[in-house]
Amino acid sequence: MRCIRLVSAISFLLLTFVPAFANPIDPVNMTFVGPGGNNSGGVYTYPYNFSIDGSSTMTPLICDAFDNEVSPGESWMATVTPLINGTGLWGTNVLDYKAAGLIFEGILGGTINPNVGNWAIWGLFSSNAQSNWYFQNSGAAGLDAQYLSWAANAPDSTFNGLMLYTPMPGTQSWGGTPQEYIGKVCASEPGSLSLMGLTMLALLGGLVYKTRMQAKPVSAA
């Protein structure tokens, strides 16, 4: 009975931490704090800094919705889903989303200029972006062609950790539908969760062993 109670208690503790990662489509509250300073073609580019659910730690995201507008201080609710789930503003345009994800990875890795890369991502989803002089003269069009080709053959595991922040229309504090963003989620949190689970299981094993040793009958002298 003591072992059963221990198992129940530790199982409850593990389940307490699972909801944070179990349902990636739970909406979050996004507040646009302001751009990071990069700009080209007359607009700001990556990074766009956000406070997520009131956090004081800024989350840098990249915009994929050139035709939508946001302003510093604006807030809205957004769903957060894996990039290739096909649930963004642009529907099931999975190949374009995959190319956008690969370009974003290049920006994060320092192999793609943030200005050119952001325009390339905008060009995947907007004809207005494609007609901009910066898109046409910066090499962004070439990036799109290259990364669309790569994305067509990339395994889904390539996009692990890339998340899509899709606005929920009507939840914005002003104006029309806000922009959609792509971000990279650090894998350390789920890893930490796994480590915590293993630690608890090890603790459980030790307690069960100790309980069994205490319950072992003593032989008569």
77-106 pLDDT tens trace:
999 999 999 889 988 889 999 999 999 999
User: What was the pLDDT predicted at 87?
Assistant: 85
Closest CA to 159 of 82, 96, 92: 82
CA distance 183 to 49: 11
Mean pLDDT in residue range 137-159: 97
CA distance 52 to 77: 10
pLDDT band at 2 (very low <50, low <70, confident <90, very high): low
Does the predicted model carry a pTM greater than 0.85? Answer: no
User: What was the pLDDT predicted at 93?
Assistant: 87
Mean pLDDT in residue range 131-155: 97
CB 32 within 8 A of CB 74: yes
Of 21-30, 149-158, 176-185, 193-202, which gets the smallest average pLDDT? 193-202
162-197 pLDDT tens trace:
999 999 999 999 999 999 999 998 754 433 444 445
CB 97 within 8 A of CB 90: yes
Of 16-25, 54-63, 82-91, which gets the smallest average pLDDT? 16-25
104-126 pLDDT tens trace:
999 999 999 999 999 999 999 99
Which amino acid belongs to residue 24?
A: P
CA distance 124 to 205: 53
